[in-house]
């Protein structure tokens, strides 16, 4: 049987690393990209190899067109196909809109939104029937429960519209496009013991942070053949933050 190949952007740490390891567990070979933390990327890649799957870690700045193209090209040249694309790399600018700069706006648009568009454009030129596009959104794409997250929330909300449009473009090719919307998940980006963590936790129904594996399991499901009739929608895994 042909081994499916997944790309996970921002797969060196946090949610992306957990997703990459879960996909390896599910039997996929994995290409993961990272920004600069080569040690973390290699550790995740080794974890994938330890599960008997092929892994490739690619240093590629997701906020540039070149970085987006490099990771797609690496999957094709090294592993010969792309079955699953997880657009996960993201940043979380924090502060009221009146204190933001043009550079802040451009940075977050480039990584959280433009990258997803470019990577999808490139990957869908090669994806076959059964392909899976999964975008890492956020519960804050649906609710902005406290101040300071306007830029972040805007990019994550935009992923919903993008996934809906891509689902229409790809539906007859048997390729799905969906958004996963995590609530607070304990990572370097949003540590469960960070300064604002108690406030964030208080907005969830469970009064708790999620684990990266909670999100990885959602990735696993949406990437599986079992999810073939799910497209153009969101899967919210947020401890009830949006409830």
Ligand X SMILES: NC(=O)c1ccc[n+]([C@@H]2O[C@H](COP(=O)([O-])OP(=O)(O)OC[C@H]3O[C@@H](n4cnc5c(N)ncnc54)[C@H](OP(=O)(O)O)[C@@H]3O)[C@@H](O)[C@H]2O)c1
What is the binding site for ligand X (CB under 6 A)? 9-16, 33-37, 40, 61-63, 88-92, 111, 136, 138, 182, 184-185, 187-190
Taking the least distance from each CB to ligand X, the nearer of 112 and 231 is 112
The dihedrals phi and psi of 49, each to the nearest 5 degrees, come to: -65, -35
For residue 182, the minimal CB distance to ligand X (Å) is: 4
Measured distance CA(139)–CA(34) in Å, rounded: 24
Taking the least distance from each CB to ligand X, the nearer of 5 and 91 is 91
Taking the least distance from each CB to ligand X, the nearer of 100 and 130 is 100
Measured distance CA(222)–CA(1) in Å, rounded: 21
CA–CA distances in Å: residue 44 to residues 12, 67, 77: 6, 20, 21
**CA end-to-end span of the chain, whole Å?**
42
The residues, ordered by sequence, that sit 6+ positions from 85 with a Cβ below 8 Å of its Cβ are 6, 7, 119, 120, 123, 127, 131, 132, 133, 134
For residue 81, the minimal CB distance to ligand X (Å) is: 22
For residue 20, the minimal CB distance to ligand X (Å) is: 9
Taking the least distance from each CB to ligand X, the nearer of 138 and 220 is 138
Catalytic residue among 34, 94, 135, 152: 152
152 is catalytic: yes
For residue 119, the minimal CB distance to ligand X (Å) is: 11
Q: What is the DSSP letter of 114?
A: I
Query: Which residues does the annotation mark as catalytic?
Result: 152
């Amino acid at each position: 049987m042909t081994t499916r190949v997944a790309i996970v952007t921002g797969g060196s740490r946090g949610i992306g690393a957990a997703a990459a390891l879960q996909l390896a567990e599910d039997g996929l070979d994995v290409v993961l990209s990272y920004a600069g933390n080569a040690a973390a990327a290699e550790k995740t890649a080794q974890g994938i190899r330890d599960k008997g799957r092929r892994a490739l870690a690619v240093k590629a700045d997701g906020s540039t067109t070149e970085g987006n193209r490099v990771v797609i090209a690496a999957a094709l040249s090294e592993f010969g196909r792309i079955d699953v694309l997880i657009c996960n790399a993201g940043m979380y600018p924090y502060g009221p809109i009146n204190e933001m700069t043009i550079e802040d706006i451009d940075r977050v648009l480039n990584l959280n939104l433009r990258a997803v568009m470019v990577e999808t454009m490139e990957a869908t030129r090669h994806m076959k029937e059964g392909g899976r596009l999964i975008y890492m959104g956020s519960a804050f794409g649906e609710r902005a429960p406290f101040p300071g997250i306007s830029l972040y929330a805007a990019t994550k909300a935009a992923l919903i519209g993008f996934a809906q449009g891509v689902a229409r473009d790809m539906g007859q090719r048997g390729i799905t496009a969906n958004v996963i919307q995590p609530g607070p998940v304990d990572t370097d980006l949003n540590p469960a013991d960070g300064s604002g963590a108690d406030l964030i936790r208080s907005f969830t129904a469970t009064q708790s942070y999620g684990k990266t594996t909670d999100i990885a399991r959602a990735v696993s499901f949406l990437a599986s053949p079992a999810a073939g009739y799910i497209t153009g929608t969101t899967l919210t895994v947020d401890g009830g933050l949006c409830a």
